[in-house]
Structure 1
Amino acid sequence: MQSNHLLASLSDDVRERVLPQLEYVSLPLGKVLYESGDTLRYVYFPTDAIISLLYVMEDGSSAEISVVGNEGVVGVALFMGGESTTSRAIVQSAGGAFRLPGQWIKDEFNRHGEMMNLLLRYTQSLITQMAQTAVCNRHHSIDQQLCRWLLLSLDRLPGNQLTMTQELIANMLGVRREGVTQAAGKLQRLGIINYNRGHITVLDRPYLEKLCCECYAVVKKEAERLLPYLHRVNT
């Protein structure tokens, strides 16, 4: 439970109720946790995996609306009462997660106690990320969007390496692959990243943050305000 910051922040009493219900699952790259319109059966608390929430158009094109990693939970529609959502949840970076049955998380949420308060605050931070992503995709360059995406991903991984092809990044950002190729090439020439056959190593994070638009900082600041455990982890 310690490897997911949201679970780790729970009090001992709540953890004792949660622990027997948790099931650890491996999440390979590209696994779809749910499709648009599916009735959700589980919520997932990632440990070292990153999950992308995508909006998929009728023609099959898609764009990422948010990412979830070890700071949060996938499947907020379950405890918010919607049971399903219009987005697709897909594993962006392979790893693992703890999952909880949907009925259990709803029952715990309806206690109107600590778990409800924490999940609502997390949901607000997720909405902030979604809104800022929409603004970023509309007003900022592909270069800046790539910087934001890399930083959000890094915050949810233990090291400075990501495994992701340019084609997948393009699908996440909803842009042409050529645009991602050019943007990644610029970062590599500046010595900020090293990119080789789907493996990205961030060599200079401060420079990456300097080149990024304000969207990353807005999302990070709001998440740390709403979720005190993130502030403790990052300081």
Structure 2
Amino acid sequence: MTNPENDSYRNQLLRRLDPGDLGLLQPHLELCDLEPKMTLEKADSEIETVYFLEDGIASVVATASGKEAEVGLVGFEGMTGAALVMGADYAAHQCYVQSAGSAFRMGTEPFKEALANSPTLRLFLLRYVHYFHIQTSYTALINAKSNLEERLARWLLMCDDRVHGERLAITHEFLAVMLGARRPGVTVGLQVLEGRGFIYSRRGEVHIRDRSGLAACANGTYGKPEADYVRLVGL
């Protein structure tokens, strides 16, 4: 259940904060636009800003030996700067905007001060951090054991959870990076899903037509982390 004082926010963490904890953050929250490819965190670099997304999607991307793949998604259900909640001050991976939107941002120092002044704030946000670890570990399992069509269906469902409407602005090239796959394979995967009537794809866009069909195609790869979010953070 959300607090009435928090209803001006769409971000699900801000909506669920104890009013006293929200009061510690509010003086430092600034609404900002999120543009595609905007960097929110740099790998192996000190975190300077925390973002509570209102809309849009950010991708957490791991890089090694010139190869990169998405390991996590953040939308209006979450935040960046999870390392700060756990007592670290730097990001392990790059995080940048995948789909344009907006967010409330605040500096690292006032955020850390709020954590220090309120044990309930840290405990609540740790529940989100735990969920995010579940999401990323599930992604590792699926990337290792599931076929491309299953992974693609799951990823489209996860994006659809975080955007308004049924249209996803995404290119095949970007999809290939997100899934750690070759671009021709992504193109074929989209054609297969479109042939089954689950999506409609055109240059730079994917439209969801049949969520239940996509979920069946995901073959059990979608749903477990989402259920854990509800259990840990709220509906």
TM-score when normalising by structure 2: 0.93
CA-atom RMSD, angstroms? 1.2
Partner of 2:117, secondary structure, is coil
Answer yes or no: is 1:14 the counterpart of 2:21: yes
Query: Is residue 58–residue 99 contact of structure 2 (8 Å, CA) maintained in 1?
Result: yes
Unmatched tracts of structure 1, length 5 or more: none
Q: Choose the corresponding residue for 1:98, options 95, 104, 112.
A: 104
CA drift at 1:44: 0.5
Match for 1:132: what amino acid? Y
- Match of residue 224 from structure 2: 218
Alignment of 1:1-235 (within 5 A): 1-59=8-66, 61-228=67-234, 231=235
Unmatched tracts of structure 2, length 5 or more: 1-7
| Counterparts of 1:114 and 1:158, CA distance in 2 | 31
CA drift at 1:112: 4.1
Query: Is residue 40–residue 49 contact of structure 2 (8 Å, CA) maintained in 1?
Result: no
Determine what percentage of the aligned residue pairs are the same residue.
Answer: 32
- Runs of 4 or more, structure 1, over 6 Å off, are none
CA drift at 1:207: 0.7
| Counterparts of 1:99 and 1:175, CA distance in 2 | 32
Query: Is residue 176–residue 182 contact of structure 2 (8 Å, CA) maintained in 1?
Result: yes
TM-score when normalising by structure 1: 0.93
| Counterparts of 1:79 and 1:196, CA distance in 2 | 40
CA drift at 1:81: 1.8
CA drift at 1:213: 2.8
| Counterparts of 1:106 and 1:17, CA distance in 2 | 11
Q: Deviations over 1:178-226 (max 9, x none)?
A: 1110110011111111111111110111111111132311111111111
| Counterparts of 1:58 and 1:36, CA distance in 2 | 14
CA drift at 1:17: 2.7
Match for 2:99: what amino acid? S
CA drift at 1:5: 0.9
Match for 1:7: what amino acid? L
Partner of 1:36, secondary structure, is coil
Query: Is residue 41–residue 91 contact of structure 2 (8 Å, CA) maintained in 1?
Result: no
Query: Is residue 79–residue 105 contact of structure 1 (8 Å, CA) maintained in 2?
Result: no
Partner of 1:158, secondary structure, is coil
Match for 1:12: what amino acid? P
